[in-house]
A and B are shown apart, each in its own frame.
Chain A
């Protein structure tokens, strides 16, 4: 299993550290040619979504990544990554990959003085440590999106088929639960791929 981590700006090294603790290899996506390498899953890290969104477009990564997600590649976005995936952002006209049926609110808890740490129970995930840094939240979900966790009455983690998002940063804690959950999504897809592959019979001579 090999996972691509978007490394345009932000806390991407932290995700690579989490994956190496789970003995999973990863590589960084910085330009168009990097997307041509095969990968089984994609991580969109925290950082500034405006900065990452602009670089996604200008370095030619937006379309190939969007295509890959639409084809079913499992993707996990944290904080800014959540904003890149959201189909709608209520306080920003710009959307980016816009592949997930969620509406998000940017800087929903205010400036840095509004950043906080807490613990909440996620659906099927147990108790999760949650670090929110100038974080967004999900104001509503639609389509097949399932809510995975809430905090102070706001949606902070969700999944729609191959897309997983958290408004908080598991990669800033020691807790590997959410990354493990993401890996299980990838394994599920790899299994489905295998079972749906058409067997090839070589003609016998």
Chain B
């Protein structure tokens, strides 16, 4: 049975409830509890955080469903999990264990280099990465109920997330000056429905909630993404790869709420101990953001 359009609305609605919040990567029930106590609005359950996936290399897959269930039982906030791009059976498994949100993620090794999952076939919501407007609209057309920047996971380097969010916004601004025929041409050119493009032009924003992800390591990074227009943030390696995860997690949560208050941000940034070491985007050989760019 194909899910109803009501289900898609409910799935977009859940993303609205996550806004102004921080979604944290966790690998154990203990970490999930720390994240919940620190004020996370959801957790992403995965076996290895992106920095370790990057270090270990090899093929990276969906986490053990038993391990994900352990995290679901440990916390009362929504639990998300990742499946590989195009791997619709991993998604079916995650739906079967009643995950709250599936992240079809470039952090894992892609299973299909042509197609993403047809997300309209699922009742459970999906969040997908996008580094420009075209990618975001393709993912939404496929049924994504939430969009995040791709950033460059596991690096602690914010440059890509900034690039992606600025790119999406400047492309939306460019739409605003387009005539109806320009828009029709563009729709054909990038293979997006005219109605979807026209709605983005009319509202000046994506029709789904947009979060920032990739490389966020400090309260200042999180506030930067919020000031640039993100509606919330994902923090992956940034928390549990740092020296004081509890304190840093709580500080990032407060920074997302009061992202325009520099005095409070200054206080939040004090004595957090060492941040994750981080690697620059030039120093890495694998750009995860390039995965699933079609």
| Residues of chain A having any CB pair with chain B under 8 Å | 7-14, 30-31, 46-48, 50-51, 54-55, 58-59, 79-80, 92, 106-107, 110-113, 115-117, 131, 133-134, 169, 172
Contacts and interface: CB of A to CB of B under 8 A. Distances in A.
B14 A134 contact: yes
Interface residues of B, number: 40
Contact of B20 (A12, A92, A172): A12
8 contacts: A9-B19, A9-B20, A10-B19, A50-B39, A51-B41, A55-B253, A112-B98, A133-B17
B258 interface: yes
A9 B6 contact: no
Interface of B: 6, 9-11, 13-14, 16-21, 36-42, 72, 76-79, 95, 98-101, 123-125, 250, 253-254, 256-258, 261, 264
Contact of A9 (B41, B79, B261): B41
A11 B17 contact: yes
Given A10-B17, A10-B21, A134-B100, A50 B253 contact: no
Contacts of A8: 20, 257
A173 to B, nearest CB: 10
Nearest to A13: B19
B16 A51 contact: no
B16 A14 contact: yes
Given A133-B17, A134-B100, A115 B39 contact: no
4 nearest CB pairs, A to B: A112-B100, A48-B41, A54-B39, A9-B20
Given A48-B21, A55-B254, A106-B76, A115 B14 contact: yes
B39 A112 contact: no
A7 B19 CA distance: 10
B84 to A, nearest CB: 21
Contacts of B39: 9, 50-51, 54-55
Given A55-B253, A92-B76, A113 B123 contact: yes
Contacts of B125: 112
Contact of A30 (B38, B98, B257): B257
B16 A59 contact: no
A11 B12 CA distance: 12
Interface of A is mostly: loop
A59 B257 contact: yes
A85 to B, nearest CB: 17
B257 A50 contact: no
Contacts of B72: 111
Contact of B11 (A12, A54, A110, A112): A112
A36 to B, nearest CB: 15
Contacts of A131: 9-10, 13
A172 B13 contact: yes
B21 A9 contact: yes
Contacts of A134: 14, 17, 78, 100
Contacts of A46: 16-17
Contact of B77 (A14, A30, A51, A79): A51
B100 A172 contact: no
B101 A31 contact: no
